[in-house]
Amino acid sequence: MRGQGRVRRRTHDRERLARRVRRAEQWRALGLGLRMFRRSLGTVMPLAVALAATALTFCVGLVFLAPPALRLTQCMARRERRVLAEEFGIEVPEAYKPQVTVETLPDGRYRFGRRVKRTVPGQWELDFQQFTTDPAIWRDLRWLSSALVLGVLAAVPAALIGYGLIGQLIPVIAWGAHHLGQGDSTVYTWFLAAPDGELSWPAHVLLGATFFGGFGLAPALVQRYGAWSAKLLSPPRNAQLRQRVRRLTETRADALDAQAAELRRIERDLHDGVQARLVAMGLNLGAVEQLLERDPAAAKALLAQSREASATALGELRGLVRGIHPPVLAERGLADAIRALALDSPLAVEVTEDLPGRAEPPVESAVYFAVSELLTNAARHAAADRVWIDVHHTGDALRVQVTDDGRGGADASNGSGLRGVERRLATFDGVLALSSPKGGPTIVTLELPCALSSPRTSTSYGTA
């Protein structure tokens, strides 16, 4: 019996917790629906401007009106995408066409988009071509035309709750009005009451059902708002594929450029370092052959110089190999390679890792050199004393976070180092997120989609 009582209590506690969670979701949905309705009211004026400018452009010929109006539409749509991502967890990709550029043809004419002119096109012509030929802009206008309707839909639950609550209070309101000397009112009939404010029991039941129905409908209607808004803003499948192809083309070009630059660096290091030392060694050995019988002491000195030059050349070759693909990365994996970087750094570096296996070698190499660049930046530019590196694998992505206590203010657009890291990661569909307020700290997060192999069972923690 006591066991059954404990089971009933646990069941009761679970049900009470579920009811509490459900009520919290309903209240959150009500608040979110009202916020979405308020935001939708802000789309009325941009919609009127966009429709009027579009009509004047294509009906009257005032072509200079469309670009700014459609740019406003684009800004509103981008803001809605951010709201969908933050409030609903729905990521809606953008699929806008690239910026229209001017190309000079061999015959001296100028091509921009699908148009060709003999004179250089003005900025308004480029903007007109950009905004009026991009299907994504017209999808944004389609959403803007429906935004108010969707906002009203999201506010329906709150309206039902308000209607049911006010209806139940009509008898009290009518009693107070009668004591103030006011008579019957037809307004009361809007809430299923008689003109004198009396409510019948069926009216009480309907108003109560309306009140509680608003709470029940709130989560579903708000989710419908998010789903329909995302559907109106989402590009079609072929547009997503075109965007993906364009992205792959860009990253492939970046990868080829990076590979060519790396080959030039290797060639330069070999030519200026190892090759020069090997040539010097050959000259020294030739001189040793001539001095061996006439001046053994001088020959011995040249042999010593050749031995030192060979040791130096060997060290440079090892450094070159480490710059291409560090042996510790190939033999021990990413975590130990990052610890080796931490040991070589002049800063106090703390490394935390939780990798149940190993990623593909190109991914490990990209992350290794990205972390190396970030440590170099922290030491040279951030005036940092300590760095914390966290490496772990979540789901299907490798995530690395590098934090330093430097002065902050880092900007990926102002330096080639972080831009190079971004290009290196983009080859693997990776991303770099930077947070670096003035005064620090600087937090750089790297994330690359990848799977791990060779599972391990240990989680390591270390300080360098």
Of 156-170, 282-296, 332-346, the one with minimum mean pLDDT is 282-296
Q: How far apart are CA 244 and CA 266, in angstroms?
A: 32
Strands 115-117 and 386-394: unpaired
**Cβ–Cβ under 8 Å, residues 358 and 391:** no
Query: For residue 456, is pLDDT > 50?
Result: no
Q: How far apart are CA 34 and CA 357, in angstroms?
A: 47
> In Å, what is the CA distance from 162 to each residue of 130, 196, 215?
46, 21, 11
Angle between helices 66-83 and 123-132 (to 10 degrees): 50
Q: How far apart are CA 371 and CA 402, in angstroms?
A: 8
Query: For residue 459, is pLDDT > 50?
Result: no
- Work out the percent of the chain whose per-residue pLDDT is above 70: 78
Query: For residue 238, is pLDDT > 80?
Result: no
Q: How far apart are CA 361 and CA 326, in angstroms?
A: 11
Q: How far apart are CA 457 and CA 80, in angstroms?
A: 44
Of 16-25, 204-213, 215-224, 314-323, the one with minimum mean pLDDT is 314-323
> In Å, what is the CA distance from 157 to each residue of 26, 83, 162, 217?
10, 20, 9, 6
The neighbouring-strand residues paired with 397 are: 394, 449
The confidence score (pLDDT) of residue 138 equals 86
CATH code for 328-455?
A: 3.30.565.10
The neighbouring-strand residues paired with 453 are: 358
Q: Cβ–Cβ contacts within 10 Å for residue 174, how many?
A: 23
